[in-house]
Amino acid sequence: MNLPAFSASFLSAGIEFFETAAIAYAIARAGFPREAVSGTAAGLTAVFGISVLSWRSLQRIPLHFFQGCVGVMLAAVGASWIVKSIRRKQRHQRARWISDPLREDKFELQTNRFSVLNLALMAKSAAIEGLAVAIILVSIGVASRAWVEVTAAGFAALAVTITAVMLLHGRLRRIPESSIQLCTGAVLFVLGAFWLLESLSQRAR
């Protein structure tokens, strides 16, 4: 089993899925549970379809070149997450998706009818977070060829997120998201640096 690929995939996907869950939870608590559920399903389904159609074409890219690109991307993402989480810990701040997930969106107030606006808001949010998951998982899968581990990690992260949301109903704010993001950033940075060095060593041969 490729444990580094599984760990990086699980942690990074879990972070993004929790962001989606926090936004969906906020919309549902505001009186729009149908919009939250259907919007999340629509956004993630769209991204899943695109990922399935694109991953085969990515496999045509030379492995050492793709590993180098993925290494740079993962190292950059990891470093960014490390810096953000450390700054939040120093300032005793919470991530926006925990403290106020709807702050920057035009959110429609509660009505008795189905809200297309809130449906679109949820679908957009789920698609953005799902796209981040897809980019990371597909990149790790192509670079490591550990598709079983990467796919299992993605579904496991989704299952854990759904379970956690159900068990922590009303207590999502207690999730130590900064600590989780710090650990995930470290894993992504190390894995990205490893693949970058692996790519450079293969090109030097």
- Residue 109: what pLDDT? 54
pTM metric for this prediction:
0.66
- Residue 152: what pLDDT? 92
Taking the domains of the chain in order of start, what are their residue ranges? Answer: 3-95+115-204
Kindly state the average pLDDT of the residues 161-181: 72
- Write the CA distances from 177 to 6, 62, 84, integer angstroms: 20, 36, 11
- Write the CA distances from 86 to 12, 18, 65, 80, 89, integer angstroms: 17, 19, 32, 10, 5
- What torsion, rounded to 10 degrees, do the Cα atoms 26, 27, 28, 32 define? 160
- Residue 118: what pLDDT? 76
Average pLDDT, the chain: 76
Q: How confident is the model at residue 156 (pLDDT cuts 50, 70, 90)?
A: very high
103 pLDDT higher than 70: no
| Closest CA relative to residue 32, chosen from 94, 125, 98, 99 | 125
Contact 185, 95 (CB under 8 A): no
Kindly state the average pLDDT of the residues 19-45: 81
Report which listed range, 1-5, 150-154, 198-202, is most confident: 150-154
Two structure tokens written together for 159 = 């299952």
Q: How confident is the model at residue 180 (pLDDT cuts 50, 70, 90)?
A: confident
Q: What single-letter amino acid sits at 118?
A: N
98 pLDDT higher than 70: no
Give the model confidence (pLDDT) of 121-149 as tens digits: 788 878 888 888 887 887 787 777 788 89
- Residue 61: what pLDDT? 62
Two structure tokens written together for 57 = 């074409």
Give the model confidence (pLDDT) of 43-56 as tens digits: 888 888 877 776 66
- Residue 57: what pLDDT? 66
- Residue 110: what pLDDT? 56
Share of the chain above pLDDT 90, in %: 1
- Residue 17: what pLDDT? 85
